[in-house]
Amino acid sequence: MPTASYAGTEVTVNDEGFFTDSAKWTEAMAPEIASHEGIGELTDRHWQVIKFMRCEYETKGTGPTVRVLGKTSGVPIKELYQLFPKGPAKVAAKIAGIPKPRGCI
Amino acid sequence: MLGGGTGGTLLANRLRRQLPRAAAEIVVVDADDKHVYQPGLLFVPFGLAKPEALVRSRQHQLRAGIEFHCSAIDHVDLQNDTVLLADGTSIGYDVLVVATGARLMPDETEGLLGPGWLEKVFTFYSLRDAAALQGALSAFNGGRLVVGVMDMPIKCPVAPLEFSFLADWFFRPRGIRDKVELTYVTPLDGAFTKATCNRELSGLLGEKGISLVTEFNTGEVDGGGRLISYDGREVPFDLAVLVPLHGGQAYVDRSPGLGDELAFIPVDQYTLQAKAKPNVFVIGDAADVPASKAGSVAHFEGQTLAGNIRRYLAGEPLDAGFDGHTNCFIESGFGKALLIDFNYDTEPVTGRFPGRIGLPLLRESRLNHAGKLAFGWLYWHMLLPGRDIPAVPSGMPKVGKHLSDAAQPGCAPN
């Protein structure tokens, strides 16, 4: 398993860079992960999505898809794409330290 | 039993055979009496099936001893074990089965139903729309034909691919294939969700000269002739065949505690018991199980579920027996088709089905096309009556499959 170092702590990630253990994540790591994803500064709106992702993951065992995020996070889909241009559900999950959402069958 | 479609009908018939009449009354509720053979919708736009030939009475597919009640559903009152119907009737239940499938939500995509709808923008997921598309396809003289999936989940996830393959075939004898630019647009990161299958189907798209646009989440349909993604990309079209967003039925949203954000019903994926309450079970597309929304899934679920409802009524523990078994023919044009067979844990691989001697898996063959056509008869005469299909077990068979071919599952939730 590859590892990555965020906020001075080494964590294991999968081939695509998603955390293998979400419990190892801390808020301090988020800005560094975000900059790897090309996101300069995390605004309050980014944090609203990141915290929502973690909360959903903790209650449901999987992060939401972009469509569900748009319906439930309080941030509409268009804005989600402005915040996380490369794909809101995938990138926000990575920054939030949770596995890639199980979105498709 | 809410819903008299594939899942509701086959389960009601199984249960009626298994439960003595004195032990259980079975009532099936549906808003109309038109049972549509949905696998046939794919063929309508190409003039290969007549819309009226795909419809039969729902009631006539039910065994004697099953009551059919024709009404829309207002809501389910989980607390009081009661269903309230739009016609004012209320029906109390000991066990509720939700079998109301998925709903098409074209209005949730900006512009899809706007200017251009039924002129340049079509779908084939309902009888009316598939018939309208037939007119447009036969009048199409060339240009950019785009087949697009708005987002997952959708019913029969291979259907839009099949549509693309059939379109390639359709335009050749008309002598205009070289004037048609075919493009397949998907929100996934490949042609299909499962890795090995994705390689095979992407290859097939390439061979047939169909362009593939991936990770495209359509935010807007401009009826003038553009799909626009949320991240600002555009795909131009002269004719767009779109698969609209899907969700559960509207009454689910009116039934507190029953459904999720998309109005699908959360269930235990092995027992098919709803998470909302122990006396509620779900079959078919209405459930949130991580399996394809397909008739074959409802058929394979039927055996486990009929047993579990019997067990529940007898106060016995449930059987966690449903393995996610899915089986789909993929029509590829020119009288050929592929077949895929998979479950929660095993992705579609090559080999033969249902055993070492059988239909070839994940490979184009005339035999599979014959299988797809024969399925129409099986549907009305074996599947809906709730019979097991000879030699096809409800659990996924491993014999005959080249399981070492399997790659790691992968998919793109965006």
Residue B321, domain member (yes or no): no
Query: Does B151 contact A90 at a Cβ distance shorter than 8 Å?
Result: no
Quick one: tokens of B290? 């991580």
**Does residue A55 have an active-site annotation?**
no
Both tokens of residue B112?
């899809």
Other Cβ atoms within 10 Å of B245 Cβ, number? 23
Give the B window 17-56 contacts with A, CB below 8 Å.
none
Residue B411 lies in a domain: no
Task: Say if CB B165 and CB B208 are below 8 A apart.
Answer: yes
**In sequence order, what are the residues at sequence separation of 6 or more whose Cβ sits closer than 8 angstroms to the Cβ of residue B181?**
B143, B144, B145, B211
Token representation of residue B109 = 């995509």
A63 vs B contacts (CB less than 8 Å)? 413
Whether residue B252 sits in one domain with residue B167? no
Domain closes at, from B193, B222, B246: B246
- Same-domain status, B116 and B214: yes
Distance from CA of B153 to the nearest CA of A (A): 7
Same domain, B153 and B95: no
Residues of A in contact with B187 (CB under 8 A): 104
Q: If residue A57 lies in a helix (H) or strand (E), which one and from where to where?
A: helix A44-60
Determine, yes or no, domain membership for B364. Answer: yes
CATH number at residue B277: 3.50.50.60
Catalytic residue, chosen from A3, A40, A41, A104, is: A104
B152 touches chain A (CB under 8 A): yes
The structural domain count of chain A equals 1
Q: Which domain holds residue B61?
A: 6-102+248-314
Cα dihedral A21→A22→A27→A32 (10° resolution): 60
Contacting residues of A for B157, CB less than 8 Å apart? 105
Range of the domain at A9: 3-95
Query: Based on the domain organization, do B242 and B110 belong to the same domain?
Result: yes
Q: How many domains does chain B have?
A: 3
Domain end position, chosen among B198, B214, B246: B246
Count of A-B CB contacts under 8 Å: 65
Does B390 sit behind a cis peptide bond, omega within 30 degrees of 0 on the bond before it? no
Per-residue pLDDT tens, chain B, 414 aa: give them: 999 999 999 999 999 999 999 999 999 999 999 999 999 999 999 999 999 999 999 999 999 999 999 999 999 999 999 999 999 999 999 999 999 999 999 999 999 999 999 999 999 999 999 999 999 999 999 999 999 999 999 999 999 999 999 999 999 999 999 999 999 999 988 888 777 888 889 999 999 999 999 999 999 999 999 999 999 999 999 999 999 999 999 999 999 999 999 999 999 999 999 999 999 999 999 999 999 999 999 999 999 999 999 999 999 999 999 999 999 999 999 999 999 999 999 989 899 999 988 899 999 999 999 988 888 999 999 999 999 988 888 899 998 999 876 654 444 344
Say how far apart CA B202 and CA B198 lie, in whole Å: 6
Question: d(Cα B170, Cα B43) in Å, to the nearest integer?
Answer: 11
Contact B115, B153 (CB under 8 A): no
Which residue of chain B has the CA closest to A79? B230
Are B110 and B240 in a shared domain? yes
Asked whether residue B291 is domain-assigned, the answer is: yes
pTM, whole model, 2 decimals?
0.93
A105 belongs to a structural domain: no
* Residue B149 maps to a domain: yes
Instruction: Clarify whether residues B343 and B294 are in a common domain.
Output: no
Tell me if B290 and A102 make a contact (CB, 8 A cut-off): yes
Has residue A101 been placed in a domain? no
Same domain, B82 and B134: no
The reply to whether residue A104 touches residue B291, judged by beta carbons under 8 angstroms, is no
The CA-based angle A28-A34-A40, given to 5 degrees, is 105
